[in-house]
Each structure stands twice: as structure tokens, then as C-alpha cells.
Amino acid sequence: MADSNIENSSKREFLQFSGKAGLSTMVATAAGVNLGLVDLVHAQPGKKVTPFRFAVISDSHLYSFKDHKFDTQLMDAIEQVNNLPVKPDFVLYGGDIAQDGTMDQLEKGKKILSNIKSKMVIIPGEHDWYVDMGTGWNGLYGANNPESGQRKGRKEYWSFDHKGVHFVGLNNILVDDFWTAQKMTGVERQTHMSMLEGPWGGLWGIHAEQLAWLKKDLAKQSTDTPIVLFSHAPLWDYYPRWGFGTSDGAEIRAMLARFENTFSFHGHVHQTIYNKIGNMSSVGAMSTSWPWPYPDVELAFPQSRQYRADPGNEADGMGSYYADITPAGINVQHQPFADSLTPWMKNGFKA
């Protein structure tokens, strides 16, 4: 009985906090503040958490050309996170390090990413995977990830605990085999999967093996442990036509339903986007390569979007972000390379 009282009271506090934060978001939007730069994630991670910071870099889409501008832009993002006044405990790379999934591009990415001065964890994007179904990617990057030695050959999804938070990395860009019947080569398969509206793959997901693993992994966690998931594509149906979603997102969210606080951080959309579905708050990352336009989708929850990137400024609308996790909330600070409308706010750590 005592336990259930504690649980009820903590859920009440969470709801109150959500209400206040939602209101302040709407007021700030009305005042014309560019909330794309600072997203307060509307939830309270709980008293178990020791404050810390992590950073996210995503979607570099490196080409095989020597000294391509996307190489420099990835390095710019690495400089941003290396120069943070408070060092992140780790940096997540959110997928799509390569444009065409070839070994030279994956290797170039590994070399550039080695300049990150914090520990790095990484998940794949669809541009990294389909030439050889992840063999090259796992060979190069799998060893960066927790549990890499424990599940031989399957190193792209993982979990670890850090300062009171349970982190999970997923590979959610898996589709059913459409290539064998069509006798496609690996390069043809990758070319198809790199299309924004490819007709054959359908919406990708994490599929049966990872669903079973995730169920087992989450079963060990108590309901008051904050759960943070990293995936390449959003875990909610944002705009499935462009692959902005996960086919088994609803099953994943059902597994998360018993937890008080769950957060999802994703790449792939190349824009700042915030949403909340059930108990899962979700934040999307700017890319380091190019900004996608916003699809014409209304979101149910009060939303914060960056203003359109300035087409006259080629560094606009791209960058990295960091998140400060404290018992009072998660603060996500987007760091655009350039922003013609709102200056980059160099915030200190507000624990």
C-alpha cells in the first residue's frame, strides 16, 4: 500500500510539472521566442538521477569525395561538443554517418569521429547498413558499444545504466527482404533504401529479435527508473511516407507504458522536432549535412520547431545538441552552426 502511495504521488507531481511546462511553451511561442534552440523536455526524471550531460551528433552523410564539405561540417559538430564548458559524459552518434554505405565512407566517418574527446556510443542509420546488411558497420563501430563482446555479431543495439538512468540504443531501420526476389546487388539495395520515398522497403522497424531483447532488457528495470531510448528514426508516426516513423513503434511504446518517465532521442529527420506520445517524450536532432523541410503534419502536443533554415546561409539549420539530465527535468540545447534569427545561447550547466 505504501509503495502504491509513493507511486501515485510521484505520478501526480509529474503531471503538474508537465502542465506548467506546456503552458510556458505556449506563452513563449506567442512571444515569438525561437524555441527550436532550447527544448525543455516536459518530464521529471526523478530523485534517483545524479545530474549529468550527454551530447548528440547525427546524420553526417559522408560522401567518398576527398575534403567534401560534409567532412568539415561533421568536424564542426565535434568541435561544438568538445568545447562545451561542461564535458558530456558521453556522445551519441545517431546514424547515417555514410551517404552510400560503402566501406570508404564508413572508414572516413570512424576516423573523423575519433576526434570526439568523450566516450562515444553509436547506432546505425539506413545509409550505413544496406550494402552488406551491417557487416561493415558492425566491424568498425560495434566495438564502441556497450555489451559488444557479449552478443557477438550483433553489436548495433545495446543498453547500459548511467547515474540512475537506463539507456537503450536500437537499430530501427530494418525492413523485410525485398531484394532477393529482385536479384539486387548490395549497392542497388542501398541505393533503393537511401531514397526518401522508396516504394519497396515499407516503413522500417526493430523487428522480432530486438523486440524480444528489449522486452527482456526492460523487464529488469523498476518503474521509477527513467528510460532513455536512442534510435535513428522516430519511435512514433511522424511522417511514415518519408520513413519518419517505426513500424513497431506502438509495440515499443506499449513496453514502456509501465514506466514513469521515458524519453526518446532520434536522428534521421534532420530538424529539431519535439513530441510526446503517452509517457514518451521525444526529441529529434539536427543533422550535420542538410536540413529536411518540415512535413505538413499537425502534432497533438504543443510543439517547438526551428524557423525555416535561411537558404542564403548554407550553415543554417544544422548542428548538434546536448541534454542535461537533472531530477528537475531534461533540458535540450540545440547548437546550430549558424542561426540568422536567434543567436546561439551558450548556456552553462543549470543543475
Q: How far is the CB of 232 from Fe ion (least distance, A)?
A: 6
Q: How many residues does the chain have?
A: 351
Site residue total, Fe ion (CB under 5 A): 5
| Interactions with Fe ion, residue window 155-214 (CB under 5 A) | none
What mask, x for binding Fe ion by CB under 5 A, covers residues 105 to 144?
--------------------xx------------------
Q: Are strands 227-231 and 165-169 parallel, antiparallel or unpaired?
A: parallel
Q: Does 45 bind Fe ion (CB under 5 A)?
A: no
The grid coordinates of residue 30 equal: 506567442
Q: What is the DSSP letter of 239?
A: B
Burial level of 293, CB count in 10 A (0-12/13-18/19+)?
A: exposed
Side by side, the strands of the sheet bearing 262-266 are 158-162, 165-169, 227-231, 262-266, 280-284, 273-277
Nearer of residues 59 and 156 to Fe ion, judged by Cβ: 59
Nearer of residues 39 and 59 to Fe ion, judged by Cβ: 59
Let me know the angle formed at the C-alpha of 224 by 219 and 225, rounded to the nearest 5 degrees: 65
Q: Does 39 bind Fe ion (CB under 5 A)?
A: no
Buried b (16+ CB within 10 A) or exposed e, 26-52: eebeeeeebbbbbbbbbbbbbeebebb
- Per CB under 5 A, the segment of 102-110, 201-209, 261-269, 328-336 that binds Fe ion is 261-269
What mask, x for binding Fe ion by CB under 5 A, covers residues 51 to 90?
--------x-------------------------------
Which of 42, 155, 266, 268: binder of Fe ion (CB under 5 A)? 268
Nearer of residues 54 and 292 to Fe ion, judged by Cβ: 292
Contact residues toward Fe ion (CB under 5 A) are 59, 96, 125-126, 268
